[in-house]
Amino acid sequence: MKLLVKNGHIIRWNAASQVEQLQNHHVLIEDQSVRDIVTTMPPTFQPDEIIDATNCAVVPGLINTHHHLYQSLTRCLKSVQDAKLFDWLLGLYEVWRKLDFEAVKLGSQISMAEMLLSGCTTTNDMFYVYPRESDVKAEAVIEGAAELGMRIHAGRGSMSLGRSAGGLPPDDVVQSEPAIVKDCERIIHRFHDHKPFAMTRIDLMPCSPFSITFDLLKETRTLAKSHGVLCHTHVAETMDETEFCLKKFNKRPADYLASADWIGPDVSWAHCVCLNAAEVKLMADTRTAAAHCPSSNMLLGSGIPPVCELLRAGVTVGLGVDGSSSNNGAHVLGECRQALLLQRVKNGAESFTSEDALRIGTLGGAKLLNRTGELGNIAPGHAADLAIFDLNAVEYAGAAAQDPLGALMLCSPTRAKFVIVNGRVVVRYGQLATVHLPKLVERMNEAVRKRFRTAR
């Protein structure tokens, strides 16, 4: 299958990882990868499909490095709209105990649909709520992604410490530790694809260092290493969490994780809001990556993560929208802008540029997922993951004539016109090409009205 993206304004990374803007260039795609970027079509390249990218910006598919896809089922939940993290979680667990396979698949597809339409081609997912009486399985998310044509790092989440054991969640939404380990192994064997261009990878993602025992934290890490899969968890999201860990373990969250070997280039920590200078250095020295979720940190009032400090120290930083219950949106292009704005609030106007914002949304994410050279850029041999935005949109009027990259990062975000994942067109003219979205939205609102709505 040969695909031609014709006459676009290409925004990509050069060999020195600096942004490069190429006007009126064509991207030649063959099967799942980019073959070349050219100004004149080679006569031997006979495309099966041509996408006209005239007056469009063509950027590497955006990468979302932190999400809980099912949470669109409980976005804007009235009872927790104004709560901070721990109260927010306590309120939500009461509703999440109603989750089943169909609901999780539906909620996940809504989140992914929203992300694809925002130019995102690869997403992380941490799914960690397995209520005792429910038929929920990891397959709900994995099948959902396959139907939409989205690349996914599906995380096997876990919680084993219920309220009676000093944890936050009710006892009936946590699992026994042997059951967790068994299911981690099951889905790695069944779904993890280690090959280049894999559409499905399995990562191991305990919900947080304090939602499972220290033994399971260590065992999960050993299991991940033995299978060559990545590890990801929430770390240092709030001051409450730091105090909780100091009281319970006599260690700050980062120290506690380091003591369980949860550091290294195959480990990423979501949030990293409450890090001190020594912890930033620890991440740099151990090449542990950070998934930055600006909207979620703002909505829950968690704080401003030291992203500029992390980047200066050489830490890999990816971008995350976080779950749709703590962001309420999953617009990954818009999240690049949020990251830029939030760092500027703390560090000033010169601290974080449009290039920095695109970098964490593409190259940074690829590196966090251990997929450098495969994802995050438009270059020969890379996966054909592209997002194409119409620069004639009113949101970019004037800005596009000034600086297309600045337009995408600084103006109000728009819907992608075309999105290509692994060489397959999954968004055409701003509409999903793989599923009928209006039907999905209708089913979603119906499910929420019937089962997931709360009185204030």
| Beta carbon nearer to Zn ion, 65 or 121 | 65
d(CA 244, CA 258): 17
Residue 296 beta carbon to Zn ion: minimum distance, rounded to whole angstroms: 7
* List of E strands, 199-266: 200-206, 231-235
The Cα–Cα gap between 230 and 153 comes to: 9
Question: Measured from the CB of residue 445, what is the shortest distance to Zn ion in angstroms?
Answer: 24
Q: Cα–Cα distance between 94 and 101 in angstroms, integer?
A: 17
User: Which lies closer to Zn ion via its Cβ, residue 58 or residue 310?
Assistant: 310
Which CB atom, from 33 or from 338, has the smaller least distance to Zn ion?
338
Which residues does 7 contact at the CB level (< 8 Å), separation at least 6? Answer: 24, 25, 26, 52, 53, 54
26 versus 292: smaller Cβ distance to Zn ion: 292
Write the CB contacts of 350 (distance below 8 Å, at least 6 apart in sequence): none
Q: Which two tokens stand for residue 244?
A: 């909780």
In the complex with Zn ion, the residue whose CB is nearer, 266 or 322, is 322
Least distance (Å) between residue 68 CB and Zn ion? 6
CB of 350 to Zn ion, least distance (A): 30
Cβ 441 to Zn ion shortest distance, Å: 24
Nearer to Zn ion, 232 or 371 (CB): 232
Question: 366 in helix, strand or coil?
Answer: helix
Residue 234 Cβ vs Zn ion, minimum distance, rounded to whole Å: 5
| CB-based burial label for 233 (10 Å; 0-12, 13-18, 19+) | buried
Closer of 339 and 400 to Zn ion (Cβ): 339
Closest CB 49 distance from Zn ion, rounded Å: 37
Our CB check for Zn ion shows the closer of 238 and 370 to be 238
Is the distance from CB of 109 to CB of 189 less than 8 angstroms? no
Binding site for Zn ion (CB under 5 A): 322
User: CA angle 372-254-94, nearest 5°?
Assistant: 95
Contacts of 338-344 with C-beta under 8 Å, sequence gap 24+, read 338/294, 338/295, 338/298, 339/292, 339/294, 339/307, 340/409, 340/410, 341/294, 342/294, 342/297, 342/298, 342/304, 342/307, 343/304, 343/307, 343/308
Contacts of 15 (CB under 8 A, 6+ apart): none
- Residue indicated by tokens 């721990």: 86
Of 207 and 311, the one with the shorter C-beta distance to Zn ion is 207
Distance in angstroms (rounded) separating the CA atoms of residues 377 and 101? 35
The alpha carbon of 445 is separated from its chain's Cα centroid by a whole number of angstroms, namely 24
* Min CB(320)–Zn ion separation in Å: 8
Nearest residue to Zn ion on Cβ basis: 322
Shortest Cβ distance from residue 447 to Zn ion (Å)? 22
CA distance 230 to 265: 9
